[in-house]
């Protein structure tokens, strides 16, 4: 896209966001109904007029749909909340797939970075693995478009697409500075939500179970894996929540309920949302089975709820490094145009009353993995801590 067109569209979007900001900041709900309706109608008319003027007079042909979507994103961006986002219809479909635990993509988990998407893990036998992509690589461009500064969900949505189609990725290898471009064929990816194994420490068998996300049904899969490990003789459990960025709040409550029989797991409160207390659902595993929760900087949201609840209820020891610190929650509202609004509507609080915004959870036991080595340095510390609990 020519630079002049890019700048013009960016300015247009800024103007549209300003118009929307007047609506959001002006509190038209305080006006009488006839005046409120007129106010909203006037703002909608102004936006439509602005888009129409650009479409008719801009020196190059423009995409009216792209302008409309950009203006909707501008409204949400005016809130200055990094967690609230507007998703286009296409992005909404990709988001729904990710929450279901399967999607069409290349098979890797990523996190936001300054230069693009930082690869956290690559699924075994996935297209990404076949293309030689590995953890710590940075995806800087998707189909030739830079994704530096692009929100995480939008950047990942650009990589996802229909199985059998190709996506071109520019991959930077930080340790060497090498940059290469690879064409990867998308496939149906089933996210490995949980995996477990038995580790022997000082002659004692201990279970290690990793949970990668809190997508729909995650608690059921985790429960099955935990019961398998216990049947195989595990005397204690390490729940590995490293790089688990969260997901559905309800799944977080259900996962915590695997370990906590009753009582509070988390509470929520918001400006327009009444305070609500979420309690454990019962049928927890034997409370005499010791548990260590392993976390790191990539542990966020629902993961922090679980780790914090097990800590506050004295059900587990938390090991690792300080977590992300996401103490707010969002609700997704489906829109008539097929898109969705993911809006921050409140804060959540752990059983002891803490809100984790910015501070996160500080583990009782320090355990840090060195990402540039093949060995997992943090897990042995968590296992030793668990062994000491026995």
Could you report the per-residue pLDDT of 43-65, keeping only the tens digit for each?
677 777 877 887 888 888 888 77
Cα distances from 300 to residues 121, 221, 242, in angstroms, run 17, 20, 9
pLDDT digits (tens, 9 = 90+) for 329-376: 888 888 888 888 889 999 999 999 999 887 899 999 999 998 777 789
- What is the pLDDT at residue 19? 29
Q: How far apart are CA 256 and CA 216, in angstroms?
A: 15
- Of residues 141 and 374, more confidently modeled: 141
Report d(CA 172, CA 140) in Å as an integer: 7
Question: Minimal CA–CA distance to 345: which of 289, 256, 268?
Answer: 268
Report how far residue 330's alpha carbon sits from residue 341's, in angstroms, rounded to the nearest whole number: 9
* 3-class secondary structure, 191: coil
Q: Which of 270, 298, 275 is nearest to 371 (CA)?
A: 298
Mention every residue, 6+ apart, whose C-beta is less than 8 A from residue 38.
none
What distance lies between CA 308 and its chain's CA centroid? 18
Question: For position 9, what pLDDT does the model report?
Answer: 29
Residue 32's beta-bridge partner residues? Answer: none
**Are 111 and 152 within 8 A, CB to CB?**
yes
288 closest CA partner among 240, 231, 237, 225: 237
Reported confidence tier of residue 100, pLDDT bands at 50, 70, 90: low
Q: Is 93 a residue whose pLDDT tops 80?
A: no
User: What does residue 312 show for φ and ψ, rounded to 5 degrees?
Assistant: -65, -35
Rounded Cα distance between 320 and 52, Å, is 54
Does pLDDT of 384 surpass 50? Answer: yes
| 3-class DSSP state of 47 | helix
Summarised one tens digit per residue, pLDDT across range 277-300 is 999 999 999 999 999 999 998 899
- Of residues 318, 290, 316, 294, the one with CA closest to residue 244: 294
Q: Spell out the residues 6+ positions from residue 361 whose beta carbon is closer than 8 angstroms to its own.
A: 295, 299, 304, 307, 308, 311, 318, 322, 323
State the Cα angle at 185 between 184 and 188, rounded to 5°: 125
- The predicted pLDDT at position 7 comes to 29
Q: Is 132 left (phi over 0), alpha (psi -120 to 50) or beta?
A: left
3-class DSSP state for residue 243? Answer: coil
- SS3 at position 261: coil
What's the whole-number mean pLDDT along residues 371-384? 90
pLDDT at 74 > cutoff 90? no
pLDDT digits (tens, 9 = 90+) for 181-239: 999 999 998 777 899 999 999 999 999 999 998 988 999 999 999 999 999 999 999 99
- What confidence score (pLDDT) does residue 161 get? 86
| Helix (H) or strand (E) run with residue 189 in it | strand 187-190
* C-alpha to C-alpha distance for 101 and 384, rounded to whole angstroms: 32
pTM: 0.71
**Which residues are catalytically annotated?**
301, 312, 326
Average pLDDT along the chain: 84
- The torsion angles phi and psi of 187, rounded to 5 degrees, stand at -145, 165
Max mean pLDDT among 48-57, 61-70, 95-104, 245-254 falls in 245-254
């Amino acid at each position: 896209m020519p630079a002049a067109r890019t700048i013009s569209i960016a300015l247009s979007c800024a103007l549209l966001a300003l118009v929307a900001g007047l609506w959001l900041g002006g509190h038209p709900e305080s006006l009488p109904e006839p005046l409120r309706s007129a106010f909203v109608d006037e703002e909608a008319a102004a936006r439509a007029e602005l888009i129409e003027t650009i479409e008719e007079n801009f020196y190059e042909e423009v995409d009216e749909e792209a302008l409309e979507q950009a203006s909707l994103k501008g409204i949400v961006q005016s809130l200055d909340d990094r967690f609230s986002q507007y998703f286009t219809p296409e992005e909404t479909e990709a988001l729904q797939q990710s929450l279901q635990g399967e999607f069409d993509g290349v098979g890797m988990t990523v996190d936001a970075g300054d230069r693009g998407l930082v690869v956290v893990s690559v699924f075994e036998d996935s297209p990404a693995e076949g293309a030689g992509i590995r953890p710590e690589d940075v995806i800087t461009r998707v189909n030739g478009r830079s994704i530096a500064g692009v929100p995480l969900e939008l950047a990942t949505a650009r990589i996802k697409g229909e199985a059998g189609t190709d996506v071109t990725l520019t991959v930077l290898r930080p340790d060497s500075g090498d940059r290469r471009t690879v064409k990867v064929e998308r496939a149906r990816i089933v996210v490995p939500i949980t995996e477990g194994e038995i580790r022997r420490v000082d002659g004692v068998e201990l279970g290690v179970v990793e949970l990668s996300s809190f997508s729909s049904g995650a608690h059921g899969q985790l429960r099955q894996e935990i019961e398998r490990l216990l049947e195989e003789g595990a005397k204690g459990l390490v729940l590995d929540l490293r790089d688990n960025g969260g997901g559905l709040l309800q799944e977080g409550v259900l996962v915590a309920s695997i370990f906590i029989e009753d009582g509070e797991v988390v509470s929520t409160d918001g400006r327009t949302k009444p305070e609500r207390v979420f309690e454990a659902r019962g049928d927890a595993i034997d409370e005499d089975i010791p548990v260590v929760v392993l976390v790191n900087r990539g542990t966020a949201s629902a993961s922090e709820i679980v780790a914090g609840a097990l800590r506050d209820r004295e059900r587990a020891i938390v090991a690792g490094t300080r977590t992300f610190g996401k103490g707010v929650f969002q609700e997704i509202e489906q829109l008539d145009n097929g898109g969705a609004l993911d809006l921050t509507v409140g804060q959540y609080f752990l059983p002891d009353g803490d809100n984790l915004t910015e501070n996160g959870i500080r583990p009782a036991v320090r355990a840090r993995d060195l990402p540039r080595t093949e060995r997992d340095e943090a897990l042995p510390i968590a296992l030793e801590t668990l062994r000491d609990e026995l």
